[in-house]
Amino acid sequence: MAEVAHMIDSEVFLAFSTYATIVILKMMLMSLMTSYYRLTKQVFANIEDTTLVVKTTEDRKKLVRFDPDVERVRRCHQNDLENIVPFVVIGLLYSLTGPDLSSALLHFRVFVGSRFIHTVTYVMALPQPSRGLFFGVGLCATISMAYRVLTTALFL
Amino acid sequence: MAEVAHMIDSEVFLAFSTYATIVILKMMLMSLMTSYYRLTKQVFANIEDTTLVVKTTEDRKKLVRFDPDVERVRRCHQNDLENIVPFVVIGLLYSLTGPDLSSALLHFRVFVGSRFIHTVTYVMALPQPSRGLFFGVGLCATISMAYRVLTTALFL
Amino acid sequence: MAEVAHMIDSEVFLAFSTYATIVILKMMLMSLMTSYYRLTKQVFANIEDTTLVVKTTEDRKKLVRFDPDVERVRRCHQNDLENIVPFVVIGLLYSLTGPDLSSALLHFRVFVGSRFIHTVTYVMALPQPSRGLFFGVGLCATISMAYRVLTTALFL
């Protein structure tokens, strides 16, 4: 990890910035997808939100409820949080270890690609093990970068 | 994104450090608010936690339950996680693209301000669309920074 | 926070990279632990996941259910997200403020140690206040680093 200050100007860091931003924007889209499902299916988590679609008090209480499709999108969002956050943290540190550009691009592309496909498999409820497979691919990309960080920068 | 290594010494980076730390501390406060509600309202998620307030076995089982106020604080915390984490990641990369100080401060202040107000509207259950509005303002600040990162640093 | 660009080459930054990677890997383990419990206890969140263990349609529906052990692991994972993410963000900024190596190592070790013990106390349901104590220790380590960031880098 010598001279990592130079790394921050490198193409690897530019690539990291690009892919991290894309995958974070993708994660933020899940919030909007949840809102869209809540409004179109009229399923709310808070009583005050129901005024967005109906006005009578009695009808409003019934709209605070669970819906399997909304919960599915929320689980997908949660899975993104649990996997994309580790990628961003470890990917940043990995970028500072001075990896080959081709090797770094491979890690970033595999991870980001696997998360986009993971979302499609989750939201569309495609048959397993498709979702498990792309979850695993993303996990392996992150662990591979973590391995390089630990072997390059280990200081306990 | 040329010479970003110099950016890390800049006033923009100091400003980012300040606002990121403040908004992360605000997010951590939600944990303490949840604990406070759980202890004062005697609503627990784990059987072993109930010994903090009662000792008899029969009473303890009844305290592992849901409470709408606790769930509200937890949803607010979750919304923070889903929005503040993207801000921190994209804000860090944005700070390294060398934006104007005034432009950077505007983004940071708008985001952090919107999240504080969002929490007040959520916890106090203020009428919609107040909460939706401040959620949207924060989202736009983050997306605006992401746009600059992608137009400055794009490397696919 | 002057000359923080040099800090990124420092032993403090190497130590941060090491401990951040370790604690993020520990958080990722919670995903695998959840999958392990779901498969061995046959408790699923999605109907399509049940094909991994049974094939008949009637039996599959019954496997989409809640289980207290799975929920416990998921709460532990959520608690990690709520605490490890703040540590990583504030720890990174703290590392750039040029703290003493011994002081930085103390913060990193206390935090990471407390989170490992926290997980043991949570998953094994050890009597309180053990879990609360280690949650608090980790929180204090993060707040102490945040205090240094704000007193060193404050720029509002």
The answer to whether residue B3 scores a pLDDT higher than 70 is no
Residue-wise pLDDT for C31-79, tens only, equals 999 999 999 999 999 988 888 887 777 788 888 888 999 999 999 999 9
Average pLDDT over residues B46-71: 85
Question: In Å, what is the CA distance from B16 to each residue of A87, A106, A123, C64, C156?
Answer: 21, 30, 35, 44, 9
Phi and psi (nearest 5°) for C97? -90, 0
Give me the pLDDT at residue A32, please: 95
Tokens of C77: 């994972």
- Give B25's contacts in chain C (Cβ within 8 Å): 86, 143, 146
- Give A128's contacts in chain C (Cβ within 8 Å): 48-49, 51-52
Q: pLDDT over 90 for what percent of chain A? A: 71
**N-terminal to C-terminal alpha carbon distance within chain A:** 15
Smallest Cα–Cα separation from C109: which of C6, C7, C19? Answer: C19
Give me the pLDDT at residue A7, please: 59
What's the CA gap between A148 and B72, in Å, rounded? 41
Coil/strand/helix, residue C64: strand
Has this prediction a pTM greater than 0.90? yes
| DSSP letter (8 states) at residue C53 | T
Identify whether the C-beta of residue B146 lies closer than 8 Å to the C-beta of residue A25: yes
Residue-wise pLDDT for B73-118, tens only, equals 999 999 999 999 999 999 999 999 889 999 999 999 999 999 999 9
| B65 pLDDT tier (thresholds 50, 70, 90) | confident
What's the CA gap between C22 and C24, in Å, rounded? 6
Chain B nearest C-alpha distance from C9 (Å): 12
Those residues whose C-beta lies under 8 Å from the C-beta of residue C124, and which sit 6 or more positions away, are none
Mutation target among B75, B89, B135 for the A interface, most CBs of A within 10 A: B89
Considering Cα of C94, then C96, then C97, then C99, what sign does the dihedral take? positive
| DSSP letter (8 states) at residue B52 | G
| A1 pLDDT tier (thresholds 50, 70, 90) | very low
Give me the pLDDT at residue B54, please: 79
Are A14 and B128 in contact (CB < 8 Å)?
no
Chain B nearest C-alpha distance from C53 (Å): 29
Chains touching C (3+ CB pairs < 8 Å): A, B
The answer to whether residue C2 scores a pLDDT higher than 50 is no
- Give C11's contacts in chain A (Cβ within 8 Å): 155
- Give B89's contacts in chain A (Cβ within 8 Å): 20-21, 24, 88
Are A1 and C15 in contact (CB < 8 Å)?
no
Residue-wise pLDDT for C90-126, tens only, equals 999 999 998 999 999 999 999 999 999 999 999 999 9
- What's the whole-number average pLDDT of chain C? 91
Give me the pLDDT at residue B10, please: 86
Phi and psi (nearest 5°) for B7? -60, -30
Chains touching B (3+ CB pairs < 8 Å): A, C
Identify whether the C-beta of residue C140 lies closer than 8 Å to the C-beta of residue B11: no
What's the CA gap between A146 and B50, in Å, rounded? 39
Smallest Cα–Cα separation from B99: which of B152, B32, B41, B37? Answer: B152
The answer to whether residue A95 scores a pLDDT higher than 70 is yes
Identify whether the C-beta of residue B63 lies closer than 8 Å to the C-beta of residue B44: yes
What's the CA gap between A64 and A45, in Å, rounded? 5
